[in-house]
Amino acid sequence: MMAGIPRTLLLVAAGLGLSSACGQMNYDSERQAMLEELREESRQSEQYGAPPLSEPILEVIARVPRHEFVPEDLRRYAYENRPLPIGAQQTISQPYIVALMTDLAEVTKDDVVLEIGTGSGYQAAVLSEIAGRVFTIEIIEMLGRRAADDLARLGYDNVTARIGDGYAGWPDEAPFDAILVTAAPEEIPEPLIEQLAVGGRMVIPVGAEDEVQILQVLSKQEDGRVIVHNVTAVRFVPLTRDEN
């Protein structure tokens, strides 16, 4: 025993260190459990026409620390396969949906990607792992600033965030090889179609809040035509517009 330090305090200090280490181990084990759950949901969803999740995307999901993008008091639920509240009546999306949308976008390392609805920053972080550059827009200032801080703190240096109306897109940085929309408009915003590059893909949930929403994939052809593919029924918060 060290001189001047009671044995009980040493035991408490050791316990705190062990608890902290175990906490990190728990995140690791919970993350692996989440991946297995995502694989199982993917197998089940195939029966309803959804494409299977690819292993490379699941590996990306495994690398991104979802617990860093949820409120501290909810971190024990961070690796459960469900959405969680992040404030301002918004949520961090279910990991399966994040993985599915990322997979459907078919992003490559040289792509420039636009995300509409930064939210917690989690989807942007996932995209950052596989894209060249990511631009993300959030209309709710509190969420946008917090997400930008978290992304910078965690070293996602290829992500640029701004506060604004995502319906209008980001014309100064267009065209985009992929566009992901993480809130549901009732109709696909025309500015986003215009800002999608030829050969690009947009992944977007479409439908009113009180109706069935459909996750759609749009691909732009060389002649400017847009082909729309319905993937699966989903539930997203509505896409908020700037009324000013």
At 54, is the secondary structure helix, strand, or coil? coil
Residue 149 in this model has a pLDDT that exceeds 50: yes
Residue 26: which pLDDT band, with cuts at 50, 70 and 90?
low
81-234, CATH topology level? Rossmann fold (3.40.50)
Q: How far apart are the two ends of the chain, measured CA to CA in Å? A: 67
C-alpha dihedral sign at 52, 55, 61, 62: positive
Q: d(Cα 75, Cα 68) in Å, to the nearest integer?
A: 8
Catalytic member of 42, 93, 120, 128: 93
Instruction: Judge residue 244's burial from the number of C-beta atoms within 10 Å of its C-beta, 0-12 exposed, 13-18 middle, 19 or more buried.
Output: exposed
Residue 220 in this model has a pLDDT that exceeds 50: yes
Residue 244: which pLDDT band, with cuts at 50, 70 and 90?
low
Section 158-186 average pLDDT: 97
For residue 216, give the nearest of 200, 201, 205, 227 by alpha carbon. 205
Q: Are 100 and 93 in contact (CB under 8 A)?
A: no
CA-to-CA dists, residue 27 to 39, 55, 57, 71, angstroms: 18, 20, 19, 15
Residue 176 in this model has a pLDDT that exceeds 60: yes
pLDDT in tens, 183-211: 999 999 999 999 999 999 999 999 998 88
Q: Is 93 an annotated catalytic residue?
A: yes
